[in-house]
Amino acid sequence: MPETPYLVICPEQVRANFRALAGALTAARTQGTRIRYAVKAAPVDAVLTLLDGEGAEFDVASVGEIDQCSRLGIEAGKLCYGNPIKKSAHIAYAHAAGVRRFAFDTEDDLLRIAEHAPGAEVECRFLAAAPESRTPFGTKFGCTPGEAFRLLVRARDLGLTVGGPYFHVGSQQLDPDAWRIGVEQAGELVNALADKGITVGAVNVGGGLPISYAEPAPEPGAIATAIAESATRYLPAATGLIIEPGRALVGNAGTVHAEVVGVRFAPDGRRWVYLDIGRYNGMAETENEYIAYRFVTDRDGDPVAEAVVAGPTCDGDDVLYQRTKVLLPTTLRAGDRVRIPHTGAYTASYSSVSFNGFPPLTVHVSGAERE
């Protein structure tokens, strides 16, 4: 048995998730929607190869992800450099590698794309007026819709191909209405661009599709219906759609296997359970306790009590949950195994290189995942 902690990811579950999402989009009468996988969620070779075979496109955030896709034989034409924050040298590198689609949200970045990737297709990311998600981006990305209109006209004038407007409703978005709001705003942009003689081929509705952790999340069908209904209402019939799932494709395809390092009662009487995995080697999404993972142990069925759950490092911030009510068996002891299901997304790709000397989270690929 491998030494913990490690992540086991099941590509066949990823395949099932991809087909379920494609089916939901078709059932909602949005067939033809391009599914563009957010590589950053789980940049696992087996996952990328499988999705390439399923017909996915890929949202890449760096030259490292471009290189990985290239090494796996994924065509550069399937890639979109979707990170609005990128160096001129990296735009030039991507263009030389065959990437012809780029996202941006500032005039500076647009000018860099025009200079270093002439003729490329561009999508302008605007900040949609959507409700806050579980892990919100704040205002780090996205310009105003008015600025997006100006910049897309500018893109046309610079000789670039206008792909269309692009929005993201935030990671782990639990409200399907968020996409309705975004599509309505995008529709206003599409119509305004048409008045300038610019035909938008597709609106990118971004990612943010949720999965169920400790709390339930809407099914893909509910989100697909919200997108389809709003697209029918607000977009011209010929306008296509692009969707960029990450978590929704890989989240439930992975399980982290960990071990209890120790159990302690603090001076205030609270029980602390220390695991060999923490914020810096896989559990980064527990920051602010945004994502509430479940814990499965071999002692489930024994009496339970509340516990603070913490990681193994000498950092005071390496605490997973101390406000969230986590009930764990009172019989847990050092050496007990703990499984954390639905951890396929943003775990291994978030883990540090060697904080406190702890190695990054190891990934194993399996044909059958069991909790």
198 or 29, which is more confident?
198
Residue 50 falls inside a structural domain? yes
Same domain, residue pair 294 and 193 = no
Amino acid found at 210: P
Contact 101, 123 (CB under 8 A): yes
- Give the 3-state secondary structure of 285-310: HHHHHCCCCCCEECCECECEEECEEE
More confident residue, 5 or 31: 5
Assigned domain for 1 exists: no
β strands within 34-125, DSSP E: 34-38, 57-60, 79-81, 101-104, 121-125
User: 235 and 265: one domain?
Assistant: no
**CATH classification at residue 269:** 2.40.37.10
Burial 235-261 (b: 16+ CB within 10 A, else e): beeebbbbbbbbbbbbbbbbbbbbbbb
What is residue 276's predicted lDDT score, i.e. its pLDDT? 98
Largest CA distance in the chain: 70
The verdict on residue 137 lying in a domain is: yes
Statement: residue 12 has pLDDT above 50: yes
Q: What is the pLDDT of residues 112-155, one digit of tens each?
A: 999 999 999 999 999 999 999 998 888 899 999 999 999 999 99
For residues 278 and 223, membership in a common domain is answered with no
* Percent of all residues in the chain with a pLDDT value above 70, rounded to a whole number: 99
Q: Are residues 200 and 276 in the same domain?
A: no
Give a yes or no: residue 99 inside a domain.
yes
Q: pLDDT band at 230, cuts 50/70/90?
A: very high
Cβ–Cβ < 8 Å for 35, 18: yes
Looking at 245, 270, 292, the residue that finishes a domain is 245
Domain annotation covers residue 185 = yes
Average pLDDT, the chain: 95
pLDDT of residue 32: 86
**pLDDT interval class at 215 (50, 70, 90):** confident
Q: Of 69, 65, 138, 151, whose CA–CA distance to 112 is shortest?
A: 151
Number of folded domains that form the chain? 2
Token representation of residue 222: 């509910």
The 3-state DSSP class for residue 8 equals strand
Name the band, by pLDDT with cuts 50, 70 and 90, for residue 100. very high
- Residue 279 domain-assigned? yes
Query: Are 124 and 229 in a shared domain?
Result: yes
The domain boundary, picked from 195, 228, 245, lies at: 245
The yes-or-no verdict on residue 370 having pLDDT over 70 is no
- The confidence band for 368, taking pLDDT boundaries of 50, 70 and 90, is very low
288 and 181 in a common domain: no
pLDDT surpasses 60 at 318: yes
> What is the rounded average pLDDT of the residues 153-158?
98
Band of pLDDT at residue 357, cut at 50, 70 and 90 = very high
Rg (CA), the chain: 22
203 and 301: one domain?
no
Q: What are the backbone dihedrals phi and psi of residue 85, each rounded to the nearest 5 degrees, phi first?
A: -110, 105
Task: Tell whether 203 and 344 lie within a shared domain.
Answer: no
Residue 96 lies in a domain: yes
In the three-class reduction of DSSP (H, G, I as helix; E, B as strand; rest coil), residue 366 is classed as coil
Predicted local confidence at residue 353, as pLDDT = 83
Residues 140 and 203 in one domain: yes
Mean pLDDT for 81-98 is: 98
Q: What percent of the chain has pLDDT over 90?
A: 92
pLDDT of res. 31: 75
Question: Which of residues 178, 213, 245 is at a domain's end?
Answer: 245
The structure's pTM equals 0.95
Task: Categorize the per-residue pLDDT at 371 as very low, low, confident or very high, splitting at 50, 70 and 90.
Answer: very low
Domain assignment present for residue 47? The answer is yes
Whether residue 225 is found in the same domain as residue 83: yes
Give the number of other Cβ atoms within 10 Å of residue 57's Cβ: 20
CATH number reported for the structural domain that contains residue 219 in this entry: 3.20.20.10
Residues 104 and 233 in one domain: yes
Q: Which domain holds residue 273?
A: 252-365
pLDDT confidence band for 369 (50 / 70 / 90): very low
Answer yes or no: is pLDDT of 249 > 70: yes
Same domain, yes or no: 287 and 178: no
